[in-house]
Amino acid sequence: MWVRKFFSFIWRNKAKSLIGAVLIATTAGVGGYDGTLKVFHDYPQLCAICHPIEPYYKSWSGSSTTDFLDYRHTLKGRTANDIVPGWENKDVVCKDCHYAPPQRIIGELGNYATGNYKTPLEERRLQTADCLTCHKDYDHLIQLTANLEKKYPNLPKPGRNPHSSHFGEIDCRVCHRVHRPSVDFCSTCHGPTMTGPGWTQQVEWKQQP
């Protein structure tokens, strides 16, 4: 599709800030969100025009050495066991978790142009209900992770299903991070159960009663 090729060209040539600002301002003013801005909102390459977003785009696209959850939500990064109904033939892109109305997009563009932001960007803590919008329920998650050793052949303790926990239904964010290593919460008591570039055993906080 020409739009995808166009944004790929922008990304490769690093003509980011100026072209991105002109594109967003022009489309917002002429077509509005429902006209043409929505098209650009569908492409993570556009989000990565602003350099604070670039590391997240590289992680999501698989162009970095990470193996974070954002990459696992792309067609390239997921396996046959990861298929969620409705997402068989498409990536999970920025807007699916970070939807923003046009006013906020324009405001963030202004913050970027004036340097009014901090890096790294503030992390969004998704609620379990956000994840279950696509992942249905815990029974579905248990099925997805029933044979993790097929996806991760070097698991320290194969045969475990992290979603079938004796704690019951743990909040997703206890373990999962999207743009940085997820937390091996089970390692608190059981020793390492998930290892690799997409995981850490540094538990940050515990399930609340």
> Is residue 80 scored above 60 in pLDDT?
yes
* φ/ψ bin of 168: left (φ > 0), alpha (ψ from -120 to 50), beta (otherwise): left
> What is the percent of the chain where pLDDT is above 70?
77
Of 101, 105, 121, which is closest to residue 113 (Cα–Cα)? 105
Q: What is the DSSP string of 101-151?
A: -HHHHHHHHHHHHHT---SSPPPP---HHHHHHHH--HHHHHHHTTTHHHH
| Cis status, amide bond into 120, omega within 30 of 0 | yes
Domain ranges of the chain: 2-114, 128-200
> CATH classification of 128-200, choosing from 1.20.1730.10, 2.60.40.10, 3.30.70.100, 1.10.1130.10?
1.10.1130.10
- Letter for the amino acid at 198? G
Of 48, 49, 51, which is closest to residue 61 (Cα–Cα)? 48
The mean pLDDT of 58-82, rounded to a whole number, is 86
pLDDT of res. 209: 43
More confident residue, 23 or 193: 193
Round the CA-based radius of gyration of the chain to a whole number and report it. Answer: 19
